[in-house]
Amino acid sequence: MSYEKAVKISGLIKTFNKKEVIRNCNMNVPKGRVYGLLGVNGAGKTTILKMIMGLLSPTAGNIEIFGQDIQKNKNNILKNIGSVIETPIFYEHLSAKENLEIHLSYMGIQNLDIKNTLNLVGLHDIDYQPVSEFSLGMRQRLGIARAIIHKPKLLILDEPINGLDPVGIREIRELFLNLVKDHDMTIIVSSHILSEIEHIADVIGIVENGSVIEELDLFTIEKDFKDGLEEYFFNIVNGGMKKYV
């Protein structure tokens, strides 16, 4: 019996101005796990993530989220997704709380605990401060708050620890792990910081030249590679070994 999948991508293609940047990409994200997406700059990670969350339409191929085709059930599926993609955009003159209020009213959701969510991401005592005065790390935390406030079933994080200090990195890592444990969330996270992925991911997907060329359990990687994820990653991107999925 196959395990339950949160995301199943098959034959995905995306072209921009006739240039194919995602090519025949397949990807399988098991439910309730943390999937780390790795790849060099320009490999295609953000483009794949944007298609999973319906921000870009595929040129060809299929994306199923919890068994439903994203193209056919977009509105329904999007309610169950939270995301932090690239630099989050906010209403600069408004506070963190006001930004979250606007977000929730836009999504048609009421009665969620904004204060608790801000506490979870470590944004305390900033009641009236406009976002324009936030540091990079504070913005990132607010972006994460916006992504998790409705307790989505699937959380998509593109470089989520960008700008966080070491304390923040640890706090946010624990938050993500708790969300998986307590809310049965599935997380797809991309990062260039291999040690960070090693801390939180269960499954690794390597993106090269627009497709996921290998998917493996972190457990297996750590068993087979003495120096762990870093050794595995360099082995793959240097063309040391390739198994197409």
Binding region for ligand ATP (CB under 6 A): 16, 21, 39, 41-47
Binding-site partner at residue 47 among Mg ion, ligand ATP, none, CB < 5 to 8 Å by type:
ligand ATP
CB 70, min distance to Mg ion, A: 20
**Is residue 46 at the binding interface for Mg ion, with CB under 5 A as the rule?**
yes
The window from 44-52, 175-183, 210-218, 226-234 that contacts Mg ion (CB under 5 A) reads: 44-52
CB 45, min distance to Mg ion, A: 5
The window from 1-9, 40-48, 58-66, 168-176 that contacts Mg ion (CB under 5 A) reads: 40-48
CA pair distance 156, 163, nearest whole angstrom: 18
Query: What is the Cα gyration radius of the chain?
Result: 18
Given the structure tokens 């979870």, which residue do they identify? 120
CA pair distance 128, 98, nearest whole angstrom: 9
CB 161, min distance to ligand ATP, A: 14
Residues 187, 155 contacting (CB under 8 angstroms): yes
* DSSP H helical ranges for the chain: 45-52, 74-78, 96-107, 114-120, 136-148, 166-183, 194-200, 218-224, 228-237
The window from 6-14, 24-32, 41-49, 90-98 that contacts Mg ion (CB under 5 A) reads: 41-49
CB 96, min distance to Mg ion, A: 25
Binding-site partner at residue 237 among ligand ATP, Mg ion, none, CB < 5 to 8 Å by type:
none
Contact string (CB under 5 A) for Mg ion, positions 206-225, x = contact = --------------------
Enumerate residues 119-148 that contact Mg ion by CB under 5 A. none
* CA neighbor of 205 nearest in space, from 78, 81, 56, 30: 30
**Is residue 191 at the binding interface for Mg ion, with CB under 5 A as the rule?**
no
Binding-site partner at residue 16 among Mg ion, ligand ATP, none, CB < 5 to 8 Å by type:
ligand ATP
Size of the site for Mg ion (CB under 5 A): 2
* CA neighbor of 209 nearest in space, from 48, 83, 8: 48
CB 158, min distance to Mg ion, A: 6
CA distances from 22 to 97, 142, 206, 212, 228 (A): 37, 30, 13, 9, 28
Backbone angles phi, psi at 167, to 5 degrees: -70, -45
Binding site for Mg ion (CB under 5 A): 45-46
